[in-house]
Amino acid sequence: MTRRLEDGPAAVTCAMANNRPERKMRTRSGIAATSQLLHLGRVLTACLLSLTAGCGSASSYHGDGELLVLHRFPALAVKVSFAEFSMDKPMTVTYSIAGLPRLNYDYVVGLSMLDVPSDSGSWPPKTLRELRGSLRIELRDSGVAKRELIGGLNELYWMQLKGDYPLGIISSGPDRTAAFFEQGGGSSAGFDELSVSYAPPATPSKHRARIVIMSDIRRW
């Protein structure tokens, strides 16, 4: 009986060649599935760490201002906005921040400008660069000042926040990260008061602003 060539080794070779793309597709699908599982594992780990560290409870806050939950996943992030004020008058006020939740994020405290869009073409916009006046912020624990920030408005570092107002932080001096803090990190029991003093310039502006404490969510 005569055997045709296409029924022999050549046919087997063709079959193997035809299966190669399918194997590659299966390999790529396996890699993608593994990556998704690894990502899910990282997210679950962050959530577990958040829970075991006593984090994740926005309801613990019973201080002044309005607390807004920015997101709960992959970890809780919050923002506390205090009363709006006009920048043409001096202001001295002390806010309670009792129960500010301990989070996986650091907090940042600063000056939020309410009439300057954060999506300006050039950054920072001219309005922010021309601001004058001085700002003093104290973070306190049981009435004792633990951190003091003092700076001119023309020295503020402006954070451009998507979908939100610009946030100016005091970054002058040797410690440029002083406006960032942990709540109850390390040996600290946390801060429970925020004292703010604002002095307008000789020619005051009529911009509107407020003091804000929020989770620094840029690292996620």
pTM: 0.71
Distance of CA 109 to the CA centre of its chain: 11
Q: Which residue has the tokens 């599982």?
A: 37
Per run of 10 residues, the mean pLDDT along the chain (length 220 residues) is: 42 45 56 65 52 62 95 89 96 95 88 81 87 95 91 91 88 68 62 96 93 79
As a whole number of angstroms, the distance between CA 103 and CA 72 comes to: 11
Omega before 117 cis (within 30°)? no
In degrees and rounded to multiples of 5, residue 165 shows phi and psi of: -80, 155
Q: Which two tokens stand for residue 212?
A: 């804000």
